[in-house]
Structure 1
Amino acid sequence: MKITMIGSGYVGLVTGACFAEWGHQVTCVDKDVHKITRLQQGEIPIYEPGLDVLVATNAERRRLKFTTDLPSAVADADAVFIAVGTPARHNDGDADLTFVYSAAKEVAVAIRGYTVIVTKSTVPVGTGDTVERIVARERPDAEFAVVSNPEFLREGSAIDDFLKPDRVVLGTDDDRAASVMQLIYQVLEETPSRIVVTKRRTAELIKYAANAFLATKITFINEMADLCEAVGADVQDLAVGVGLDHRIGMPFFNAGPGYGGSCFPKDTTALLRTAQDYGVPLRLVEETVGANNARKRRMALKVIEAAGGSIDGLTVAVLGLTFKPDTDDMREAPSIPLIEALQRSGATIRAHDPQGMRHAMSLLSEVAFCGDVYSCCEGADVVVLMTEWETYRHLDFGRLRKAVRVPTLVDLRNIYNRDVAERHGFSLTGIGRAHSTPSMTENPDLEDGRGARRLPLARGAVVSKQAIC
């Protein structure tokens, strides 16, 4: 099949590369000349494990190409996927569909012969109806159908999610369009993946409903973590005991600092706006959004408490900035409100992330961004683990102990073994777990770090919006 992907961002690029891997002829289109030039040269503008190899392999096989010329890419396509951004509007939080509607107009002018136009972007209920009206108005003579095919990609594992999905959702009442879509996904017929064909509006709502449910599940276990701390229970054992119930399950049942990223915050807000437009209360989703926002802000209080009740004048090393590992995405990352709150309380911030620092530099001011974990922690009064990157799971605690000023560790992802941390002199604060007794073992050549004096950042580090140490 000949497929054209309008938009070469995260969803468009991953989807296009995976379709090419299945043997389809795919052309990815984008208005960003610089992005297309980079892609044509084999450079990947986003970080997603394995995507560089997938793109290079299929470009070499001439199954995947990139262009800014939309009309020529659309003219011979069997299916045109619209995979442009739908960011939240600043004034009301609803999904901004400007790019979707603009793409629909351009596609309408360019199609030749019967074409299936697919909304791959996450869009509110009824968007497909509007796209259909736009195309019909621009091209009354056109033969086309509009299908909803929402994406369910997790950043960091998007390729595996696409090539081996648990389900594919196709929203259409048009038999001819359904046949085209099933040919596109034909490779999945001999796999456990299930293809769900439903009404277009139902397909549009499925994506929002799925993300709202997962966001609610995360928020639930986070609130259980708070209760565990209050009563002296352990949230990790609780999660196992509850999650082993097959009706509930273990995924998305890890307590942490709150959800972030490009999907959950935006999609839950957009779902609430849709419900309000139709006069339907979604109290559970409303509470989920409110509880998650409050939790992000409250994490700073946990750090301050671990530091002895005041962070003023102290240095905090933050390990991990992206909202999850294996991505460079900083959108709605819990690290941002945490760092800003700690700065307002008088802390000096040092930070490290394997992939996210380039984007973080444009979002955070007065932070020293460090090239490795141990230089980040040098002279720190508190070390905060924000994102569970694999590299942080294997820290040399002996080396870390020598680097810090005070051995106080706040683990907001519960990845560290308490016995190991305490054996190296660290006091450990986790999420939904009993707090360890703070160690009194300090570096012999340093004073107690809770107020006596403040060390320089480290060996010539400069603090500024773009500081790198």
Structure 2
Amino acid sequence: MKIAVIGTGYVGLVSGTCFAEWGNTVVCVDKNAEKIAQLKQGKLPIYEPGLEKLVLRNHATGRLVFTTSITEAMAGADVVFIAVGTPPRPGHGDADLSFVYGAAKEIAQAMENHAVVVVKSTVPVGTGDAVEKIIATIRPKGSFSVASNPEFLREGSAIDDFLFPDRVVIGIEDDVAREKMAVLYGPLADAKTPIVITQRRAAELIKYASNAFLATKITFINELADLCEQVGTDVGELALGIGLDHRIGRAFLKAGPGYGGSCFPKDTLALLRTAQDYGVALRVVEETVAANEARKRRMALKVLDAVGGDVDGLTIAVLGLTFKPDTDDMREAPSLALIETLQRFGANIQAHDPVGMENAARILENVAMFDDPYECVRNADAVVVVTEWESIRQLDLYRLKQAMRSAIMIDLRNAFGRGAAQAAGFHVTSIGQPVPQLSGIISGDVHAASDHRPVSHAVLTGTAREG
């Protein structure tokens, strides 16, 4: 089949490349001429493990083509995917659909033969209906179909998620679309992957509901981690005990500093706005959003507590900046709120990330970036582990400690076993484990090294906690 993909962002580039890997001819189109020129040279705008190899291989065979011309992309296309961004509208929370509607209008103008127009972007319920109306103002009824085919790609494992998915969801309203989409996803049907055919609106809602549920699950275990710290037990044991129940499952039960990325924060807000438009209350999702935002900033208080209550003038090293490993995505990353809060309390920040520092530097100010993690922690008063990259997990803890001024670690991902870090000489604060007591000697060393006064209890309970 010939496939056109409108948009070469994360979803469009991964989807188009994988469709080409199945043997289809795919033309990816984007208005950004510089991005297209870079893609033609094999330079990718995003970091995703395994993607570069697939792009280079399929581009070399001619199955994967990049262009700025939607007319070229649409010529003879059987299926056209809309894979443009749907960012939240500032101050509103609902999805900005201007790029989707703009793509629909351009597709209608360039369409030569019957094609199935598939919305792959994450969109609110009813967007497919609106796209159909836009195209119908230019093309006669029956000369096109509109379907919904939401993506369920996890950054860092997107290739496997596309080629070996848990399921494929397709929302269709006519038999022509059903037949063409069945041919397109034939390789997965042969592999006995569940292909769920629904109404178009159901497919749109499935995407938002899936992400809202996973965000809620993350927030649930994060709040229980706080309880574990107070009652003196380990959230890892708790997660194992409840996760082995097949009705619950073990996925997304790893406690941390809060969820981030391009999907969960955006999609939960968009789902809430959709519910409000229809007069429905989604209280669980509302509380999930509020709890997650509060948690990100509250992580800075764990750092304050770990160093004795005051970070003013201290140097804090941050290991890991992206919202998760194996991606360069900094959108809604917990590290952002953490660093901004610590800076507001007077801390100096040094940071390291294997691939995310370029993107982070566009957002963060007054942060010293280090390619070498050991240089990042040099003369630091504390180190905070925010993203559990494998390269960070493999660091030599003894060497790490030797480079630091004070051996204080706040491990927000439990990336290092507490026992191993303590054996290396660290005083460790982790997530969902009994809260350690900071000795007067360690506290005194921290502030003496930085020429600081002892901090009163009021700092811990007053102004600092308002952040």
Q: TM-score, normalised by structure 2?
A: 0.95
Aligned-partner residue type, residue 62 of structure 1:
G
Residue equivalent to 1:4: 4
> 1:133 and 2:150 equivalent?
no
For the Cα contact (< 8 Å) 2:405–2:449, is it kept in 1?
A: no
Aligned-partner residue type, residue 202 of structure 2:
T
Give 1:126 shift: 0.2
Inter-partner Cα distance in structure 1 for 2:447 and 2:171:
59
Give 1:192 shift: 3.7
Give 1:418 shift: 1.6
Residue equivalent to 2:348: 348
Is the deviation greater in 135-144 or in 243-252?
Answer: 135-144
Give 1:450 shift: 2.2
For the Cα contact (< 8 Å) 1:325–1:387, is it kept in 2?
A: yes
Aligned-partner residue type, residue 170 of structure 2:
L
> 1:286 and 2:283 equivalent?
no
| CA distance 1:441–1:354, shift in 2 (3 Å) | farther
Inter-partner Cα distance in structure 1 for 2:24 and 2:140:
29
Deviations 1:321-370 (A, max 9, x none): 00000000000000001000000111000000001100111101110011
Residue equivalent to 2:328: 328
> 1:83 and 2:83 equivalent?
yes
> 1:263 and 2:260 equivalent?
no
Inter-partner Cα distance in structure 2 for 1:448 and 1:231:
29
> 1:385 and 2:389 equivalent?
no
Aligned CA-pair RMSD: 1.4
For the Cα contact (< 8 Å) 2:146–2:173, is it kept in 1?
A: no
Inter-partner Cα distance in structure 2 for 1:212 and 1:255:
17
Inter-partner Cα distance in structure 1 for 2:379 and 2:402:
9
Give 1:75 shift: 2.3
| 1:338-377 equivalent positions in 2, closer than 5 A | 338-377=338-377
Give SS of 2:65's match: strand
Residue equivalent to 1:465: none
Aligned-partner residue type, residue 254 of structure 1:
K
| 1:10-159 equivalent positions in 2, closer than 5 A | 10-140=10-140, 143-159=143-159
Residue equivalent to 1:196: 196
For the Cα contact (< 8 Å) 2:12–2:84, is it kept in 1?
A: yes
Is the deviation greater in 430-439 or in 342-351?
Answer: 430-439
Give 1:139 shift: 2.1
| CA distance 1:141–1:149, shift in 2 (3 Å) | closer
Inter-partner Cα distance in structure 1 for 2:59 and 2:359:
28
Give 1:193 shift: 1.3
For the Cα contact (< 8 Å) 1:422–1:439, is it kept in 2?
A: no
Residue equivalent to 2:304: 304
Aligned-partner residue type, residue 71 of structure 1:
T
List alignment gaps of at least 5 residues for structure 1.
Answer: 456-469
Give 1:180 shift: 0.2
Give SS of 1:169's match: strand
Inter-partner Cα distance in structure 2 for 1:453 and 1:358:
30
Residue equivalent to 1:275: 275
> 1:450 and 2:447 equivalent?
yes
Inter-partner Cα distance in structure 2 for 1:138 and 1:280:
35
For the Cα contact (< 8 Å) 1:79–1:115, is it kept in 2?
A: yes
Give 1:173 shift: 2.1
Inter-partner Cα distance in structure 1 for 2:321 and 2:65:
33
For the Cα contact (< 8 Å) 1:84–1:121, is it kept in 2?
A: yes
Residue equivalent to 2:424: 424
| 1:224-243 equivalent positions in 2, closer than 5 A | 224-243=224-243
Aligned residue pairs, count: 451
Residue equivalent to 1:462: none
Give SS of 2:309's match: coil
Inter-partner Cα distance in structure 2 for 1:195 and 1:233:
42
Deviations 1:208-258 (A, max 9, x none): 000000000000000000110111111000000000000100110000000
Give SS of 1:150's match: coil
Aligned-partner residue type, residue 255 of structure 2:
A
Aligned-partner residue type, residue 450 of structure 2:
R
Inter-partner Cα distance in structure 2 for 1:325 and 1:12:
21
Give SS of 2:445's match: coil
Give 1:453 shift: 2.6
Aligned-partner residue type, residue 133 of structure 2:
R
> 1:399 and 2:396 equivalent?
no
For the Cα contact (< 8 Å) 2:119–2:150, is it kept in 1?
A: yes
| CA distance 1:359–1:329, shift in 2 (3 Å) | same
Inter-partner Cα distance in structure 1 for 2:29 and 2:450:
57
For the Cα contact (< 8 Å) 1:408–1:438, is it kept in 2?
A: no
> 1:207 and 2:204 equivalent?
no
Inter-partner Cα distance in structure 1 for 2:214 and 2:165:
17
Over the matched positions of the two proteins, sequence identity in percent amounts to 63
Give 1:437 shift: 5.2
For the Cα contact (< 8 Å) 1:83–1:121, is it kept in 2?
A: yes
| CA distance 1:378–1:454, shift in 2 (3 Å) | farther
Give 1:113 shift: 1.6
For the Cα contact (< 8 Å) 2:352–2:376, is it kept in 1?
A: yes
Give SS of 1:236's match: helix
For the Cα contact (< 8 Å) 2:16–2:28, is it kept in 1?
A: yes
Inter-partner Cα distance in structure 2 for 1:45 and 1:119:
22
| 1:312-323 equivalent positions in 2, closer than 5 A | 312-323=312-323
Give SS of 1:350's match: strand
Give SS of 2:287's match: helix
Q: TM-score, normalised by structure 1?
A: 0.94
For the Cα contact (< 8 Å) 1:136–1:142, is it kept in 2?
A: no
Aligned-partner residue type, residue 449 of structure 1:
V
For the Cα contact (< 8 Å) 2:169–2:198, is it kept in 1?
A: yes
Inter-partner Cα distance in structure 2 for 1:371 and 1:62:
37
Aligned-partner residue type, residue 328 of structure 2:
D
Aligned-partner residue type, residue 277 of structure 1:
D
Give 1:451 shift: 4.0
Inter-partner Cα distance in structure 1 for 2:414 and 2:75:
52
Give 1:436 shift: 4.0
Deviations 1:353-405 (A, max 9, x none): 00110011110111001111000000011100000000111111111111000
Inter-partner Cα distance in structure 1 for 2:381 and 2:418:
19
List alignment gaps of at least 5 residues for structure 2.
Answer: 453-467
